[in-house]
Amino acid sequence: MKQLEEAILKYGSAINEQVLKVDTFLNHQIDPNLMYLMAADILEHFKDKKIDKIITIEASGIAPALMVAYQLNVPLVFFKKATSSILNEELYQCQVHSFTKNKDYTLTASKNYIHEGEKLLFVDDFLANGEAALGAINIVKQANAEISGIAIIIEKSFQPGRERLTAEGYDVYSLARIKQMAANHIEFIKNE
């Protein structure tokens, strides 16, 4: 998506070969106009899919996922990275490793919000190694629901996330695919 790539180049910062900082428009401060355009692009890609709900993982995936849910007029369910004292009902849970924070966390979703047979679109801010998406898929499988697709805002294509997800048959759509990056250098792969 041209507007996203332009925002990454103008406002983003490649810290090194692995870390991209986009906190000026995506995951600290949020550009609502760009979010709206990204959501429309995602929905255009998945327009032929049945989608009952949008799912994501807190916190950085919430803004783009909410805009997709708003435009599709379906609920958004976000999975928590830690259990809470108010989550005392039955839960779906699995362990996930965070590439960004280099630690494991327990992904948690209430059984009240994901139901058998539902078709779910997973939306997240980044795809690197695929751990977050695979964790969300694990939760969805526990609920006997189905992933209709995976929408990613920024994919680090030099890491194995896409390969891991497409090998399992998932439709992965990324708005910006980074081929390589280094301090002050970002190169994109053009979407087919």
- Distance between CA atoms of 183 and 145, rounded to whole angstroms? 41
Which residues make up each annotated binding site for 5-phospho-alpha-D-ribose 1-diphosphate? 128-132
Contact 137, 167 (CB under 8 A): no
The H-assigned helical ranges of the chain are 2-11, 32-45, 62-72, 131-142, 161-167
Binding-site positions read 20, 27, 128-132, 156
Binding residue positions for xanthine:
20, 27, 156
Using CB atoms within 10 Å of the CB of residue 55, give its burial: 0 to 12 exposed, 13 to 18 middle, 19+ buried.
buried
Specify the 3-state DSSP secondary structure of 68.
helix
Distance CA 166, CA 168 (A): 5
